Amino acid sequence: MKSPIFKIIDNSLVSLPTPRNIRTIWNFGSILGLCLGTQVLTGLFLRIHYFSSSDIAFFSVNHIIRDVSLGWLMRITHANGARIFFISLYLHIARGIYYSGYKLSHVWIAGVSISLILIATAFLGYVLPWGQMSFWGATVITNLFSAIPIFGEDIVYWLWGGFAVGQPTLSRFFALHFILPLAIIILVIIHLIFLHQTGSNNPLGINRNPDKIKFHSYFTKKDILGFFITLFRLFIIVLLLPWLLGDTENFISANPLVTPLHIQPEWYFLFAYAILRSIPNKLGGVIALLAAMLILYFLPLSSTLKLSSLNSPIIKIIWWWFVSILILLTWVGARPVEAPFLILGQRFTVLYFLFYFIVII
């Protein structure tokens, strides 16, 4: 007689009916699970040696890198693992949009919720090293809540724990950064439960595809191969180019009296940052930023337009036009707030929302 644990494993990883024709890009779901596990394990190690004090947080990170055995490996793996995490996340979402994965509404909504919490977790983690860009990034982002009518300033002071970003802010961000991954894990389980109820979509866009095979062993082998390729790429970055994707300002301890020339978030948030600052009004910018994220929730309400209609050249043109807009928004977000980048950001923002308007309407 099979035990309950064995039944769960058998139903979810062995006997799960899976479309025969899914491609390599479907591997990014399992790769995201690998990234989550890597971040949790390295984060637990870093937690042992990190001090959430505004006086010594920056130096405790240096202590981990310089003095703790293999601390440098854990610190750099955690930092670059977050970047690999977001690359995989964006590719996973892109596949869902292109192949109309949002038609599986429960799976899609759970996935979007995971993405939003992951963004918040990554922002909180970016603040913890307490470097210059971390400190001023926290100042800028938390100030956005002041745009909320009536209660905005009270919310900002509550987040700060005072009248400026400081020790209480760091302590709160550290606690939240440690707790939110638990919410992510719970939502991942819900996401997988819904996925196993409906089954995965496929490149043909057929909801009830009869051509299915068991998940094991063909797809487990593909996932394991994806794990090795992802880990290989991660450790190439960790061992050869550890600070390639970082910001040089974060090698300087936080100083509230010196403002960096150009405050910007990590590169994987630059497209959203460009949308935020493209609106001259503060409240309008916050609404545009929220809309850019929350609009993903409305994709299941879309019309019969199928982005998985690969034989249509119009669909391909629309899709690659959208990808180009995201790349250009990322580029604009890394540029100063001045002409011509301000105008370009506004135009690209309009085109960004136009894509979703085409898909939904």
**40-96, pLDDT tens digit by residue?**
999 999 999 999 999 999 999 999 999 999 999 999 999 999 999 999 999 999 998
Assess whether 200 carries a catalytic annotation: yes
- Among 30, 177, 266, 308, which one carries the catalytic annotation? 266
User: How many whole angstroms from its chain centre is CA 311?
Assistant: 31
Domain segments of the chain as ranges: 23-250, 266-361
Rounded average pLDDT over 154-160: 92
Distances (CA, A) of 236 to 2, 75, 229, 240, 278: 42, 15, 11, 6, 36
Class of the CATH-defined domain 23-250: mainly alpha
Q: Decide if 117 contacts 187 (C-beta within 8 A).
A: yes
Number of helices (H), then strands (E), belonging to the chain: the values are 13, 2
Strand-pair category, 212-214 with 17-19: antiparallel
pLDDT at position 4 over 70: no
User: How many whole angstroms from its chain centre is CA 361?
Assistant: 26
CA 166/CA 171 separation, integer angstroms: 9
Rounded average pLDDT over 103-130: 94
Q: Sort 29 into a burial class: Cβ within 10 Å, 0-12 / 13-18 / 19+.
A: buried
Class of the CATH-defined domain 266-361: mainly alpha
Q: For position 215, what pLDDT does the model report?
A: 77
Lowest mean pLDDT among 214-218, 290-294, 296-300: 214-218
Angle ∠(179,32,224) on CA atoms, nearest 5: 135
pLDDT at position 221 over 50: yes
pLDDT at position 301 over 50: yes
Higher-scoring residue by pLDDT: 278, 197: 278
- Among 115, 200, 253, 308, which one carries the catalytic annotation? 200
CA 19/CA 210 separation, integer angstroms: 8
Crossing angle between the packed helical segments 57-66 and 71-98, to the nearest 10 degrees: 100
Dihedral of alpha carbons 186, 118, 350, 155, sign = positive
Higher-scoring residue by pLDDT: 360, 5: 360
3-class secondary-structure state, position 255 = coil
- Among 88, 223, 249, 308, which one carries the catalytic annotation? 223
pLDDT at position 307 over 60: no
Provide, rounded to the nearest whole percent, the portion of the chain with pLDDT above 90. 62
Assess whether 54 carries a catalytic annotation: no
What's this model's pTM, rounded to 2 decimal places?
Answer: 0.91
Higher-scoring residue by pLDDT: 51, 5: 51
The chain-wide mean pLDDT, for the chain, equals: 87
Q: For position 15, what pLDDT does the model report?
A: 66
pLDDT interval class at 311 (50, 70, 90): low
3-class secondary-structure state, position 262 = coil
Cβ neighbours for 18, distance < 8 A, ≥ 6 positions apart: 199, 200, 212, 213, 214, 215, 219
Lowest mean pLDDT among 16-25, 27-36, 109-118, 158-167: 16-25
Higher-scoring residue by pLDDT: 129, 218: 129
**Upper half-sphere CA count for residue 3 (Cβ side, 13 Å):** 3
Crossing angle between the packed helical segments 341-360 and 270-278, to the nearest 10 degrees: 100
One-letter amino acid at 35 equals C
pLDDT interval class at 338 (50, 70, 90): confident
Dihedral of alpha carbons 187, 192, 198, 200, sign = positive
Assess whether 222 carries a catalytic annotation: yes
Q: Decide if 55 contacts 2 (C-beta within 8 A).
A: no
Rounded average pLDDT over 252-277: 91
- Among 49, 63, 106, 196, which one carries the catalytic annotation? 196
Cβ neighbours for 263, distance < 8 A, ≥ 6 positions apart: 133, 136, 137, 140
pLDDT at position 208 over 90: no
Rounded average pLDDT over 239-263: 89
**Residues written for the chain:** 361
Q: Any idea which residue has 């180019």 for tokens?
A: 241
- Among 212, 214, 222, 306, which one carries the catalytic annotation? 222
Q: For position 17, what pLDDT does the model report?
A: 74
Rounded average pLDDT over 294-309: 72
Q: For position 310, what pLDDT does the model report?
A: 53
Which of 180-189, 195-204, 293-302 reaches the highest mean pLDDT?
A: 180-189
